[in-house]
Amino acid sequence: LSGGVAYTDAQIERFRAADGTLSGARQGERLALAPELKYSLAANYRIEPGPLPFGVRLNAQYAYTDEQFSDLGANPLFRLDSYGALDAEITLFDRDERFSVSLIGRNLTDESFASLITPGGPGNALRYQIPREADRYFGVAIRSKFGG
């Protein structure tokens, strides 16, 4: 088992205005793209080859990111909601670990989220940057080691 927790209280202490002078206008404001809380928990389990000619590795991880803003000012239009994602993987490998096949599932809870919101879309609409991880997906990975 493994995990991690990050608590961040990221605020502006000093801010330079467009003319280069220090300004107190944004002092104490939350930084953009700085969630207050992030954590993850992972579990890995390995079954060595025994009577069967292959072994099994199981892996699961849950990661959570607290709400944040994609711009300064805590404007509700640029608020990125909190989200969590569960990933899992099962791998079959041979005795010498020269060959393996993995079945992979990402964002198994199908939690939709945006990683960035910016102005400037068509008709002055907001633009949402949606990462690949914002939808559930599955895959297969095949690995082989060549040489001595």
What pLDDT is stored for residue 148 in this prediction? 64
Distance set, CA 106 to CA 10, 60, 119 (Å): 29, 10, 29
Q: Phi and psi dihedrals of 24, rounded to 5?
A: -95, 5
Write the DSSP string, 112-131: ---SEEES--GGG--EEE--
Burial state string for 105-144 with b = 16 or more CB within 10 A and e = fewer than 16: ebbeeebebbbebeeeeeeeeeeeeeeebbeeeeeeeeee
Q: What is the pLDDT tens value at each position of the chain, 148 positions in all?
A: 999 999 999 998 888 888 888 877 788 888 999 999 999 999 999 999 988 889 999 999 999 999 999 988 888 999 999 999 999 999 999 998 899 999 999 999 999 999 999 988 888 899 999 999 999 999 999 999 987 6
Would you report the helix, strand and coil content of the chain in percent, each value rounded to 5?
5, 50, 45
What pLDDT is stored for residue 127 in this prediction? 93
pTM assigned to the model? 0.83
Among residues 39, 37, 107, which one has the least CA distance to residue 68? 37
